[in-house]
Amino acid sequence: MERKHLWTVLLLLAMACFVLPASSDNLFRIGLKKHRLDVNSMNAARVARLQDRYGKHVNGIEKKSGDSDLDIVPLKNYLDAQYYGEIGVGSPPQKFKVIFDTGSSNLWVPSSRCYFSIACWFHSKYKASKSSTYSGNGESCSIRYGTGSISGYFSQDNVKVGNLVVKDQVFIEATREPSITFIIAKFDGILGLGFQEISVGNVTPVWYNMVGQGLVKVPVFSFWFNRDANAKEGGELVFGGVDSKHFKGNHTYVPLTQKGYWQFNMGDFLIGNASTGYCAGGCAAIVDSGTSLLAGPTTIVTQINHAIGAEGVVSMECKTIVSQYGEMIWDLLVSGVRPDQVCSQAGLCYLDGAQHVSSNIRTVVEGETEGSSVGEAPLCTACEMAVVWMQNQLKQKGTKERVLEYVDQLCSKLPSPMGESVIDCNSISSMPNISFTIKDKAFVLTPEQYILKTGEGVAAICVSGFAALDVPPPRGPLWILGDVFMGPYHTVFDYGKSQVGFAEAV
């Protein structure tokens, strides 16, 4: 069996994991540590990975750090791109470093029977024979990711998360990890915190069993990511509520619109103080702790990268559209042709009945095929982006010549195939803020927050925190709010009330 995930570009950060001892407040914290970014590792370890809950201030949810009914797991931070902590599987517990991933729902760790994958040589392996609580299952399974897959079989054992012991948890013993991603990763496996709807094999997730076995009094967990590059502590994952010392003010909660991922409706998206117009009518968004960057529609990511001066791959198809079809697109828009029909009338896309179809934009959600922003019909994709850009400029009453010049500049800022874009570190102070509107409130990201920087002086490298991902309607347009967003904003996942909440992190 196979489960396809949404993935965004994830810069893997090499981290060392530690677990803080249980304190008098009986909270279990998974601590995160940060490591300086290794350029060679960054280039070798881009993991494509994309895998939704709250509303106002919730009575009974906000807990003090001294409350005894919270289980706090300290997290480690690898280059602001990978947060993981320690769990134990079996009796006695065999220790593993795992990504706590709200974008997936299965737990998997390497198996002692993983003989032929190099990645298993570098990570801890589960030995069923060493556990007195092991129970066999043996059903084969696999999970496919953007840059590789893992496969193995189901087993059952106790799983210790912080001070909590989840009994009889079904998990995957991975016997094959063919991707280079897993070779250089600092984590051993993944513990999914998504919904059972996206669980491979319909396995009951660890979090469900925590709630079902009465291990937490309040069906809520929350993340705090420490983005201070010099801090020893990387962050915390709290089960059973929130730790009030990691945020200020009240959380803004928004209800989930779909279960599977932690998905909700997001409002307008602004570059500086200017609306892009793309999400003015609303966009779907997913909060994903297992994704390092912010992923969104190529059309908007390109505009962001243009605004901040990020250099991506130059798309010749895009420039061809501007030079050969730009005036035609302009004339069709001015004449009142519906934007979703312009490219078909220009002969660059086709109509499937009454619905416009772009063959190169596909979704990887709910079992559909994987897609990319540049694919089977590049001229169609480029035309679609040009229409959005031109339509927005038309609203601002730009002249045809200036609009075509602007679109040509955007073409030069298209992200590279893996979605990453590099910027000049010296220009960070002059970059605009980027804002997401959630429940009519603006959540602002400053340049210092959405740019990943490593090194100093001439050795400094700065990477845009925005990556391209195109998911068409009705599922999309879709934003994946990864660690770049969860760093500045403490995030609460309310399983009981089907909502997710955000407050300024401290």
| pLDDT tens figures, 262-293 | 999 999 889 998 988 888 888 899 999 988 88
> Which of 453, 413, 22 shows the shortest CA–CA distance to 229?
453
In terms of average pLDDT, the best of 164-178, 228-242, 387-401 is 164-178
End-to-end CA separation in angstroms for the chain? 42
List active site positions. 101, 288
**From 32-46, 232-246, 303-317, 453-467, the region with the lowest mean pLDDT:** 32-46
**Mean pLDDT to the nearest integer, 430-452:** 94
**Mean pLDDT to the nearest integer, 70-91:** 78
| Residue 24 reports pLDDT greater than 70 | no
| Residue 326 reports pLDDT greater than 80 | yes
| Residue 56 reports pLDDT greater than 90 | no
| Residue 376 reports pLDDT greater than 60 | no
Please count the residues of the chain.
506
**Mean pLDDT to the nearest integer, 129-147:** 88
| Residue 62 reports pLDDT greater than 60 | no
Query: Buried b / exposed e across 151-161, counting CB within 10 Å, b at 16+?
Result: bbbbbbbbbbb
pLDDT at 467: 86
Band (pLDDT 50/70/90 cuts) for residue 28 is: low
**What's the order of all strands across the beta sheet hosting 263-266?**
263-266, 283-287, 478-481, 294-296, 466-468
| Residue 112 reports pLDDT greater than 90 | yes
pLDDT at 31: 54
Structure letter (DSSP) for residue 195 = -
**From 120-134, 281-295, 486-500, the region with the lowest mean pLDDT:** 281-295
Residue with tokens 């190529």: 298
**Mean pLDDT to the nearest integer, 284-308:** 89
Q: Say how far apart CA 482 and CA 463 lie, in whole Å.
A: 15
Contacts of 199 (CB under 8 A, 6+ apart): 3, 105, 106, 192, 205
Contacts of 457 (CB under 8 A, 6+ apart): none
> Which of 306, 291, 318 shows the shortest CA–CA distance to 464?
306
Longest Cα–Cα distance in the chain: 74
| Residue 411 reports pLDDT greater than 90 | no
- For the question of whether the overall pTM of this predicted structure is more than 0.95, the answer is no
The residue among 423 and 174 whose pLDDT is bigger is: 174
- Cα angle 422, 428, 430 (rounded to 5 degrees) comes to 125
The residue among 335 and 19 whose pLDDT is bigger is: 335
32: β partners: none
- 355-372: pLDDT as tens digits: 433 333 222 233 333 333
Band (pLDDT 50/70/90 cuts) for residue 315 is: low
pLDDT at 416: 58
Band (pLDDT 50/70/90 cuts) for residue 18 is: very low
pLDDT at 176: 92
Cβ atoms of 186 and 179 within 8 Å: the answer is no
**From 117-131, 239-253, 362-376, 456-470, the region with the lowest mean pLDDT:** 362-376
Cβ atoms of 319 and 444 within 8 Å: the answer is no
Mean pLDDT, the chain, whole residue set: 78
**From 95-104, 370-379, 384-393, the region with the lowest mean pLDDT:** 370-379
Q: Say how far apart CA 70 and CA 163 lie, in whole Å.
A: 10
**Mean pLDDT to the nearest integer, 245-255:** 96
Q: Say how far apart CA 438 and CA 59 lie, in whole Å.
A: 21
**Mean pLDDT to the nearest integer, 224-228:** 84
- 2-11: pLDDT as tens digits: 333 333 333 2
> Which of 82, 68, 12 shows the shortest CA–CA distance to 482?
82
| Residue 154 reports pLDDT greater than 50 | yes
- 165-218: pLDDT as tens digits: 999 999 999 999 877 777 777 889 999 999 999 999 999 999 999 999 999 999
pLDDT at 279: 85
pLDDT at 378: 65
Q: How many CB atoms lie within 10 A of CB 351?
A: 13
| Residue 104 reports pLDDT greater than 80 | yes
pLDDT at 84: 85
**From 152-156, 177-181, 469-473, the region with the lowest mean pLDDT:** 177-181
Q: Where are the beta strands (DSSP E) in 226-332?
A: 235-239, 247-255, 263-266, 269-271, 274-275, 283-287, 294-296
490: β partners: 503
